[in-house]
Structure 1
């Protein structure tokens, strides 16, 4: 690629001595070479700093903090320091496919999208098993589904630096900070794409599925979902949660109607996933009827703007 734009890769690190060398090397080995790699050691108490210091590549910018400020502040400081036209996010324990940046920058340079992610391999550190992520790929699906969950992997995202510098991470949201970042960008009209290639190996830890973590995540997720609807000009009372039949018809159909008007060409599958969040699980003998209800409502929504 001629006149390739500079890409700033941001890697926050805290007590990551076991994996950070592999993460760093996976960025340095990219087929797209016009990069700067900004690493923020956020007051690690293990040997993370020594590992970072062992790399002498001139493209690496090292920010070494003796105090732990938290990942949100670290990411924001790196965004401020980034000098590239594009910013790529990378966690210190994940692994990037060698072609990741080349493929994402090619998409972003087409000017059709503002932010580009990808499918991932998910490595369970508790069991050692590796699985394929379940992803959506189109802009309409990704932005509509932000009303019920975040379909974007933080460590797989690359986008225009001007957008990251405009929004940055909200320091008051410490559990779903990446979710809220994408919500703000999506509501402002930023265009998203997920590539079907699995360009990141993402590590998942047992602590991420603990009851304490899940409860905190659940509470902040509800607040982010309500905020997203507000930003879109949709009644926040439509936020997705289990409701009785009559009420979910009102709220579920209401949400789908508004989302499909704002994001034309939402897929039938995505509409089905959104409406399913209003239904109760384990319906026993009524399961075929709830599935039929879900399909009919989603089909109506998909045909609404076609």
Structure 2
């Protein structure tokens, strides 16, 4: 029963965070801690969270609004588990998510894994299938790793810290880990639900693309030709994922 530390940043998340927490409480794997870092919410997020009295839920508030990357990193500083999982405040896990993914990693000695998931849509959900593995070059041409599905064994990968940029920090973090020689292994089974929230950064595709290009140039320091090469496939795969 390995301890899994669940990293959840929240900001003005009163509408969905209760459902997110319930999905964690429903996990068949029982040995977890949920570290909820509140990035100075101005709504009733704190009151919603404090209704849940399970001692495995550990809520704390940042001193000032700093962005999701820093909120995640503050939670990572408090994490006690060898395994780290990520779950945003508007997403949902299926009950056997942790159990199945942990077994997948242990059985195959995996340090960095991700799984399939479903995009919540009106009427019919979009199922996202994932490949068996991704190296750095393959990842830079794709958008397939959902942060809500990532699990990391820190004994293999080492200490994890999110790249400190305001936007697209999760993708840049996965790029950093893969650039260091890690391989991301995919479990092609839908274990989570991703909620597309109107007005969110991740739901504004044009803004997301601009941020990703900027970070690839400034964080990954890719040349313009190399960045353009990756971006051709990045855009193609993003369109396929969301619209086909």
Sort the TM-score into its range (normalised by shorter chain). 0.7 to 0.9
Greater percentage in helix: 1
4+ residue runs over 6 A deviation: none
Cα pair 2:141 2:234 within 8 Å, conserved: no
TM-superposed deviation, 1:226: 4.5
Q: Name the structure 2 match of 1:131.
A: 125
- Secondary structure at 1:170 match in 2: coil
- Greater C-alpha Rg: 1
Instruction: Answer 1 or 2: higher relative contact order, Cα 8 Å, separation at least 6.
Output: 2
Q: Which residue of 2 aligns with 1:160?
A: 153
1:41 aligns with 2:41: no
State whether structure 2 residue 92 is matched by structure 1 residue 95. yes
Shift of 1:147: 2.1
The equivalent position to 1:17 in structure 2, one of 14, 28, 31, is 14
Secondary structure, aligned partner of 1:12: strand
| DSSP-derived class of the 1:87 partner | strand
Please point out which of 214, 223, 226 is paired with 1:239.
226
Which of residues 139, 147, 157 is equivalent to 2:140?
Answer: 147
User: How far is the alpha carbon of 1:164 from its aligned partner?
Assistant: 7.2
* 2: CA distance, partners of 1:119 / 1:143: 19
Gaps of 5+ in 1: 242-251, 256-272, 278-306
The unaligned stretches of length 5 or more in structure 2 are 237-244
SS of 2:140's partner is coil
Residues 76-119 of structure 1 deviation map (CA, whole Å, 9 limit, x = unaligned): 01111101010010111111000000011112213532122111
- CA distance, structure 1, for counterparts of residue 202 and residue 113 of structure 2: 30
2:239 match:
none
- Is the contact between residue 157 and residue 182 of structure 2 (CA under 8 Å) also seen in structure 1? no
Question: C-alpha deviations, 1:12-70, integer Å up to 9, x for none?
Answer: 11111111111111111100001111111221111110011111111111112363221
2:174 is equivalent to residue 177 of structure 1: no
Secondary structure at the aligned position of 1:27 is classed as helix
Deviations 1:188-224 (CA, angstroms, capped at 9, x unpaired): 111212222211111012324899x444322331244
TM-score by length of 2: 0.84
CA distance in 1 between counterparts of 2:148 and 2:20 reads 11
- 1:151-185 deviations in Å (ceiling 9; x for gaps): 100111111135776341122x2211011000000
* TM-score, L = length of structure 1: 0.68
Which residue among 59, 75, 80 is the counterpart of 1:78?
A: 75
The 1:227/1:145 distance shift into structure 2, 3 A limit, reads farther
Between the two proteins, the alignment pairs up a number of residues equal to: 235
